[in-house]
Each structure stands twice: as structure tokens, then as C-alpha cells.
Structure 1
Amino acid sequence: MTEYDYIIIGGGASGLLLADALGSDPFFKEKRIALFEKQHQKENDRTWCFWESGSGPFDALIHKKWNVIRFRGPNFERNIPMEAYSYKMLRGMDFYEEYYRRLQLYPNIEVRYEAVESLEESETAAIVTTGMGSYSAPRVLSSVMFRRPKSLMHPYPVLKQHFLGWFIRTEEAVFDQGTATFMDFSVPQMGNTRFMYILPFSPTEALVEYTLFSETLLEDKEYEDALKSYISKDLTDKGYEVLETEQGSIPMTVNDFTQANSAHITHIGIAGGWAKPSTGYTFWNTRKQIPKLVHALKKGDSPRLKQPFKFWHYDRLLLDVLTRENASGNQVFSMMFRSLNPELILKFLNEETTLAEDFQIINASPKGMFIRAFWKALVKSPY
């Protein structure tokens, strides 16, 4: 059995960011580290978006950024120039290429292109098994949850942010390439929170994505039909071609994912509960969690990274509202975007606001829904 000091399972955003952080830190210079990834070459299988003030560590890789965002709700629409933030898009393909290149510069990190079949635990280590052999380490950091505790999805509700996106090219110029559509609720809600999300790259090319917050997924045809209808009705009837697609589902819950961790296994990324519960955004949260994780590893701790207390409660109430009244999402977000500075909303969603700023957000929200959710949370009403 081959032994390492640390094993990372998964070469996605969380695994690569963690491997780079360990490789570039002198503290881990003498540690043997392995990254397991089943695919040797990764295509542009996803995009990550986040908003950021000023310049940042990923700027050299950014495919496109926007300083104006568009929100479209029932009976109103806003194009909002942003001063403090830019909305940035990072393509998976560009990210993978850069970070795998970086890992080659660290002599203590080995990338093994092997699919992990199982992850077990002994008294002294975690054991990774692939079709090519077995490997052990006192600490395994996994972006895959091989065994999900039965209690993981309890006691709080679980929604999914699920989506299908098409990268399209239109025959005529239809996009304002300087404006990203953050949410367009003009699509039929059909008892759920449903919206379109558009990232334009040129007057004729954009990512158009159909997104839902709901408990269950749709059949593929339902996503496709919604995209076709929206494109022909709201964008162009002159024709278009689909260049690429992306599809995904992200859990939206405040349940404690760290209960799946153990003495020798720590989950990272979505498997670690790093997705922002109320929005599904994961990349920015991952960037914030990596330094905390590295700090814990240096101290020899078994890390339990959790969401800040007050934002956990805010997200819990919003998810309670969306679970009980799933079609109300457009009303919640519309009231906020109609009456608030959108940059304050983005700051809030990035979990960077003060209590005074939190109060502005709360005051602009539909109070009846949140009071009902708060009251039912107090009496611990079952779902």
C-alpha cells in the first residue's frame, strides 16, 4: 500500500484550490500529497461566476466580466450599473489548465489519474482504493461523499438549484455584451421559483440558462422546451445554434454536512457543505474556506468548517420560505431588487454585511412570509 501524508479526492475547484494552497505553502514542503482525479483531460464542463470588488487572484483567468447586471421581475425591470463590484465568469477549462500546470511545479504533489472506488477508515488512516491499487493517508480530503449519513438531510429542508444552460450563437445581434442578466422571472413559475440567467460574450453569443429552486428535478425535455420558448420569444426568432451545454444540480440546505467527516476524512466543496445555502454559489465560498482548512491542517486539527452563525439563520429562514411557498422566490427577490441598492444585496449574499445593513435587507423583504417562517421555526414545525 502506498502511503501519503495527505490525499485529495477530486480535481474540481475545491480539490485544485486546496492542492495549490498546500503546494505553495512551505509548511507542507516535506509532506507527500496525492490528488486523485478520474479524468486525464477535462473539457469546459462548467462555468463559475462570482462578484468581487476590485482585482482578485483569478483575474488572469477570467473569461468575461460585467459591470452592469439586469434584473427582471413581475411588472418591472432594472439595469443596474455597479461601482463596487464586477460580476466575473471563469471557464472550467481555463481553470483546470492553469491549476494542473501549477501542480506540476510542486515536487511533493503527485497527480494520479485513477477513479476512486471506495474510501474506508482504519484506526490510524483513511484508505483509498482504485482499480490500480490502495493508498493511505492520515488525512483524506474528499470532494466526493462515498457514504452519506442518514441524518445528513435532516432536520432542515433541502431544495435543489438545478439548471440547464446553452451556449448559443444567434444569427442576428441580440445581446448587450456589457450587461449580465442576473435573474429574469418572466418565465412561467409553475409552482416553483424559476428564472433565466444570461451571460453575453458578444452581440451574438451568450450562455442562456434555465434555473430552478425546487425539491425535485425535471425531465431533460422540460429544461430544453423552456430554453427554446424563451429564446424564440424574448431573444430572437431568426435562428441560433447551440455550441455547448452545461447542466447541474446543487443542494440548497443549512443541514450540517460536517457530520459526514471523521477522524481521518474531511469533505470539501459541495460535499463539505460549501455551497451557499440560499443561492447555490460555491466557487466564492470555496475560495474563503480553503485558507481556514489549511490553517486547521497546520494545527493538526480535524476541521469543522461551518457557515457564520447569523448568515446560517438568514439562509435557514429563506429556505423555509421557499420550501413552504416555493413559487414565492420571484416575489422575495423582486422586492429586494426593486427597493435596495443591488450591490448591498450582493454584499449580503457574499456574507459581508454589517448588522445595520442586514436590517435594510430584512426590511425590504416580504415580511409576512418571513414572519410565518420565523414563527414556524420557533415552534419547530415539521416539514
Structure 2
Amino acid sequence: MQIKYDYIFAGVGLASLMILDKMIDARFLDGKKILLLEPNDKISNDKTWCFWENDIGGFDNLVSKKWKQALFVNEKQTIKCLSDGANYKMIESIRFYNYVLDKLKKYPEIIWKKESLIAFEDKYSEVIVTSNVAKYTTIKFFNSVFDCSKIENNKKYPLLKQHFIGWFVKTANPIFDANCANFMDFSIPQKGNTRFMYVLPFSETEALIEYTLFSADLLPENEYEQAINDYLKEKGAHTFEIIKKEQGNIPMTVFPFWKSNSKNVLHTGTAGGWTKASTGYTFKNTVKQSERIVSLLKTKTIDFRKFHKPNRFLFYDTLFVSVLYKNNALGKKIFSKMFLKVNPKKIFRFLDEESNLKEELQIILACPKIPFIKALYSSFIASLTQS
């Protein structure tokens, strides 16, 4: 006889584990039958999550490094970004995986099957989930398996990519400030794109250096690596060792992933549009969304079609992505004007979607006017066409 699960999670990554962690904290897993579908063991450090936060945070026990200061840099200015006790924190994914998976060991009715999701269908009273091995039924289904074909070549919702290659390096001479990260260093050649260096120093001689672009197209691998090599030499690191490398490609889009939600199916993580379209940051929003899910599950009537809450920040992200997609060289100018004219604390509140209208207006007025007015006009015309 086939088991009917209370919940099935497809994909065991940040989103699924964060939801499960919040369920544990709310004692919501007691007596529940849960199936995890994930073909890969979570035994390697495959991602690094960073976020700004005040001194005390809910995941401080997992933070492997934090910086008391962080900089925004271009060839003319260096702006300090953190104040009032804020820190920039880093969590290595393996520490988060181990933390939540250890907590899940206390629940013997949670089953992990190393299988891949093939399809699912909401039958209203239950969801049929098909893997590459078998079919399962569940009351509620959480899907974090991202299908990039949904957003590729979509003219209505342009796709930018935050793509990068990073080197973990050890230099022969001290060139880093271990207490100061570098959010964006735009002093490098832009070459018609939005390009910057992202630097996380772990000591005076150790750091992660990422060559990052917000653009529509990827580069040949050697172009990223040559840029990192040139940057290190310019900073005085004529001799260095590459300890390991990482690379990433994060979608930056306002595609309405949530429209695929149904009564009993909720798309989460990148597959649910939880990645901030204008920055690529994910961790803090995943915490917020996971807490919302647990609150929803406590109610008697659960309809995931109502989970998405549209807000004005989606509109801001839409304009930002549209502007950079049409004129990718503007990124340096946009960010430089923002950080030069607006207190960085307000910018971070804005990026966390916690700012007020007065702060948002100040940020909007700091940006180049004409490109955003054109994007606003295009958005208005598109809305008229749709109606």
C-alpha cells in the first residue's frame, strides 16, 4: 500500500531545509510523514551565502566569518557601507546543511530518497509526484527544482544573470584588511557591461576574489580568470596560490514564478522567485518566506495560490532589470550615484524590502533619470497592451 505523505519536498537545498528548520522550531513536524527527493548528497560546500545584519542574528552559530566594515569602490570614491553595529556575515552551505540535517535525524518518519523529480500534478485533494523511480502522493508539495527553460528567451520578462568565477587565494605578502569586505569594486574596466570585483578577506593574506557581472551573456572562462589575476597583481599580490575555485550563475528576473503555484503546490527558492532580482541575494528572503510558510501551515485553510504577496519592490526590481538589460553599461553609474548620494544604511533597508516611501524616493532620485523614465514608460505601455 502506497504511503500518502503530509509533505513532499523536491530538492534539498537552502529553501527546503530552511522551511524544515522553521517547522522544527515551531514543533510542526511531530507525527508528520515527510519525503525528501534529492539525488545528490549534501556533503560538500557548494555555495556561500552572505548577508548584512546587526550584531545578533538567528544563524550566528553557523557564521564562519563576519566583517565589521564593507566598501563600495569606483575609481574616484571609496565609501564605507556599514554602521550602527551592522556586520556582513558569511555562511558556508555545508555548515547549514549539516545543522538542519542533524536536527532532522530526530524525526524517523522523514524519508530521503535519492531520486530526481520528473513531474507533479495537483489533483486538488492530493498531489501526485513522479520521480525517476516511482510515484508518490502528498497533501502539500514544495518544489525547489529550478527549470531555467521557463525564463530563457522570454521577451516579456528579460533575464539578466549574475555570473562569476571566484578564486580562494593565499598571497605571499599581506594585502587584505581581514575586517573589511568589498561589496563592489567598480574600478575595473567595464567593457560595455556591469562588472565589479567582490572581495571577502579571511586574513591579511587570504581572501575570496570574485569577478562578477550583471549581464545577459556569460564570458569565456579565461576572461574571468584573467581579470582576477590582473586585479590581484594591481593590488600588489605578485605571488599567490589558488586554494580552490567557485563559479555561479544566478538568474536576475522578475518572471512571475508564483503563477505556477496551485492550491497544494508551492514553488520555493529560485524556482519560486525568492532570489532578489536586482541583487541576486537569497538568504534573508528565504528566512522570511519560510517563516511565512510555517504561519500559513498553522491555519485551517491552506491555499498556496494566495501565498505570493505583490509589493512595490517588485516594481522597482522590474525597472532595474529592464534598464540594465537594455543598457548594460549603466550599472556602474547607477550604483555609484546611489552610494554617493544616499546613506548606505538606507540602501540596504531598500534592498531588504524594509524601507519606507521617503527612503525609496531618495534612492530613486539618486539614480540616472532618463533610463528609468524610459523603463517606466515602457512598463506603462505594456500594462495598457495587456489590459
Which category of TM-score, normalised to the shorter sequence, fits these structures?
Answer: over 0.9
Consecutive unaligned residues in structure 2, runs of 5 or more: none
Q: Which residue of 2 aligns with 1:126?
A: 127
Please say if residues 2 and 134 of structure 1, whose CA atoms lie closer than 8 Å, have aligned partners that are also in contact.
Answer: no
Q: For 1:187 and 1:170, how far apart are their aligned partners in 2?
A: 20
Q: Tell me the equivalent position of 1:116.
A: 116
- 2:243 maps to amino acid: L
Give the Cα separation in 2 of the matches to 1:19 and 1:62. Answer: 19
Unaligned ranges ≥5, structure 1: none
**Structure-2 residue corresponding to 1:362:** 364
**Residues 74-85 of structure 1: pairs in structure 2 closer than 5 A:** 74-85=75-86
CA contact (8 A) 2:11 2:37 kept: yes
TM-aligned CA deviation for residue 50 of structure 1: 0.6
SS of the aligned residue for 1:369 comes to helix
Q: Counterpart of 2:91?
A: 90
1:178 Cα deviation from its structure 2 partner: 0.8
Q: How far apart, CA to CA, are the structure 1 residues paired with 2:92 and 2:42?
A: 15
Structure-2 residue corresponding to 1:288? 288
**Residue 66 of structure 1: aligned partner:** 67
How far does residue 303 in structure 1 lie from its aligned partner after superposition? 4.4
Per the alignment, do residues 49 and 81 of structure 1 end up closer, same or farther by CA in structure 2, a change over 3 Å counting? Answer: closer
State the shift of 1:118 in Å: 1.0
> In 2 relative to 1, CA 278–175 (structure 1 residues): closer, same or farther, beyond 3 Å?
same
Give the letter aligned to residue 226 of structure 1: A
- For the residue of structure 1 that corresponds to 2:19, the secondary structure is helix
Alignment partner of 1:63: what SS?
strand
Distance in 2, matches of 1:242 and 1:95, equals 25
Deviates more, 1:258-267 or 1:151-160: 151-160
Amino acid at match of 1:247: Q
**In structure 2, what is the equivalent of residue 158 of structure 1?**
159
CA RMSD in angstroms, aligned pairs only: 2.3
Mapped partners of 1:307, 1:336: distance in 2: 27
The superposition leaves residues 89-132 of structure 1 with CA deviations (integer Å, 9 ceiling, x where unpaired) of 1011211111111111234433x141314122262433334455
After the TM superposition, which residues 14-33 of structure 1 pair with which residues of structure 2 at under 5 Å, given as runs?
Answer: 14-33=15-34
Alpha-carbon deviation of 1:28?
A: 4.1
Aligned equivalents of 1:305, 1:240: Cα separation in 2: 49
Most deviating of 298-307 and 254-263:
298-307
CA distance 1:266–1:376, shift in 2 (3 Å): same
| Residue identity opposite 2:294 in structure 1 | V
Instruction: Provide the TM-score with structure 2 as the length reference.
Output: 0.91
1:158-177 alignment to 2 at 5 Å?
158-177=159-178
Q: Given that residues 8 and 35 in structure 1 are in contact (C-alpha distance below 8 angstroms), is that contact kept between their aligned partners in structure 2?
A: yes
Provide the C-alpha distance between the structure 2 equivalents of 1:291 and 1:172, rounded to a whole number of angstroms: 45
User: Which of 338, 341, 344 pairs up with 2:340?
Assistant: 338
Deviations 1:8-59 (CA, angstroms, capped at 9, x unpaired)? 1122111111112223333442221122222234211110001112311100
Q: Distance in 1 between matches of 2:84 and 2:18?
A: 28
Give TM-score scaled by structure 1 length.
0.92
Letter in 2 for 1:335: K
Q: Alignment partner of 1:26: what SS?
A: coil
The CA deviation at 1:212 is 0.7
Match of 2:264 in 1: 264
Structure 2 distance, partners of 1:190, 1:365, is 21
Could you say which residue in structure 2 is the equivalent of 1:276?
Answer: 276
How far apart are the structure 1 equivalents of 2:24 and 2:176?
42
How far the C-alpha of 1:379 sits from its partner, in A, is 2.4
Q: Secondary structure at the match of 1:313?
A: helix
Inter-partner Cα distance in structure 1 for 2:291 and 2:271: 18
Structure 1 residues 209-218 or 28-37, which shifts more?
28-37
Secondary structure at 1:380's aligned position in 2?
helix
Equivalent residues in 2 for 1:123-272 (5 A)?
123=123, 124-145=125-146, 153=154, 155-237=156-238, 239-272=239-272
Count of paired positions:
380
**Percent of aligned pairs with the same amino acid:** 42
- What SS is found at the alignment partner of 1:138? strand
Give the letter aligned to residue 120 of structure 1: F
SS in structure 2 at match of 1:270? helix
